[in-house]
Amino acid sequence: MNSATFRIWRGDARGGEFRDYSTEISEGMVVLDAVHDIQATQANDLACRWNCKAGKCGSCSAEINGMPKLMCMTRLNDLPLDKAVTIEPMKAFPPLKDLITDVSWNFAVKKRIKPFKPRPPDAPDGTWRMAQRDIDRVQEFRKCIECFLCQDVCHVLRDHHKQDQFIGPRFFVYSAALEMHPLDIEDRVVELRETQGIGYCNITKCCTKVCPENIHITDNAIIPLKERVVDDYYDPLGWIWKKIRRRNERSPEPLA
Ligand code: SF4
Ligand code: SF4
Ligand code: FES
């Protein structure tokens, strides 16, 4: 059995430092396994957040060798082990303890986004009719596990600290899922431009590169939302057409 060194950030909101831990490693291990081994044998007070160990709960987000990643989905044999593997908390959020950050800002942002508002049912039995291609378009966005790695990597939040003016890629994905839902009749375009800062995104695609669910955040969510903003604000014919279309959506012909 081999061993490897892990340089783990230890500290809290007042500050901290990296400490080195060596532990035995074996075939198939992921970074979270190594952190658990270190926790069990050398640092019982090491704090890390995790739940599923299957890439589905979004809890174990951290920065591994400087890259935002899920600890449970990062295999040791994909990392160079001839030098220490650095593991530190996400930088875009306030540190709480060791690898745990305070991500509560994200949940406050989510509450500010207008919720799903379906049009009246299409049929007298209270059901709706939707085209499969319209369902397929939003299905991708529903894969989000709220790991917030995209928020962590986005320079608007990470470097420019625009948390009060910019909701971040995760919530553009969330807004896109609602805006493009075939039944939704709410209009979120004014907020996207005025208070949610979509204009700050300069489509660097860093968020897309780190998404563990491979959601095409920029191409499929942010760019179509930006196009809606442009249509509404700078294309008067598009604006009038949209108003007519939305009015018709609110009063669909009842199905026989
Ligand atoms: S594409 Fe936009 S939202 Fe994504 S990381 Fe870049 S600036 Fe942020
Ligand atoms: S969009 Fe991707 S990176 Fe962002 S929170 Fe969801 S799963 Fe994580
Ligand atoms: S422990 Fe759930 S995503 Fe890593």
DSSP 153-209: H-HHHHTT--TTT---HHHHHHHHHHHT-TTB----HHHHHHTS-GGG-----HHHH
The answer for 65, left when phi > 0, alpha when psi is -120 to 50, beta otherwise, is left
Which of 180, 222, 179, 220 has the alpha carbon at shortest distance from 200? Answer: 222
Name the DSSP class of 118: B
Answer whether 197 contacts ligand 1 (Cβ < 6 A): no
Residue 38 and residue 23 in contact, taking contact as beta carbons nearer than 8 Å: yes
Rg (CA), the chain: 22
Contacts for 108 with CB less than 8 Å, ≥ 6 apart: none
pLDDT grade for 235, boundaries at 50, 70 and 90: confident
Which ligand is located closest to the Cα atom of residue 59? 3
Mean pLDDT of the chain: 93
Answer whether 216 contacts ligand 1 (Cβ < 6 A): no
Which of 182, 132, 172, 134 has the alpha carbon at shortest distance from 150? Answer: 172
Predicted pLDDT of residue 254: 36
Predicted pLDDT of residue 237: 72
How far, in Å, CA of 216 to CA of 123, rounded? 34
Predicted pLDDT of residue 246: 58
Residue 40 and residue 121 in contact, taking contact as beta carbons nearer than 8 Å: no
Quick check: 13 pLDDT over 70?
Answer: yes
Which residue has a Cα nearest atom 3 of ligand 3? 55
Residues near ligand 2 (Cβ within 6 A): 144-150, 169-170, 173, 210-213, 215, 217
pLDDT digits (tens, 9 = 90+) for 103-162: 999 999 999 999 999 999 999 999 999 999 999 999 999 999 999 999 999 999 999 999
Which ligand is located closest to the Cα atom of residue 62? 3
With a pLDDT cut of 90, the percent of the chain lying above it is 89
Buried/exposed 9-41: b ≥16 CB within 10 Å, e otherwise:
bbeeeeebeebebebebeeebbbbbbbbbbbee
Quick check: 247 pLDDT over 70?
Answer: no
Q: How many residues are present in the chain?
A: 256
pLDDT digits (tens, 9 = 90+) for 59-96: 999 999 999 999 999 999 999 999 999 999 999 999 99
191 CA to middle of ligand 1, Å? 18
pTM over 0.85: yes
Predicted pLDDT of residue 239: 67
pLDDT digits (tens, 9 = 90+) for 180-228: 999 999 999 999 999 999 999 999 999 999 999 999 999 999 999 999 9
pLDDT grade for 1, boundaries at 50, 70 and 90: low
Predicted pLDDT of residue 256: 35
pLDDT grade for 232, boundaries at 50, 70 and 90: confident
How far, in Å, CA of 85 to CA of 70, rounded? 14
Which residue has a Cα nearest atom 6 of ligand 2? 144
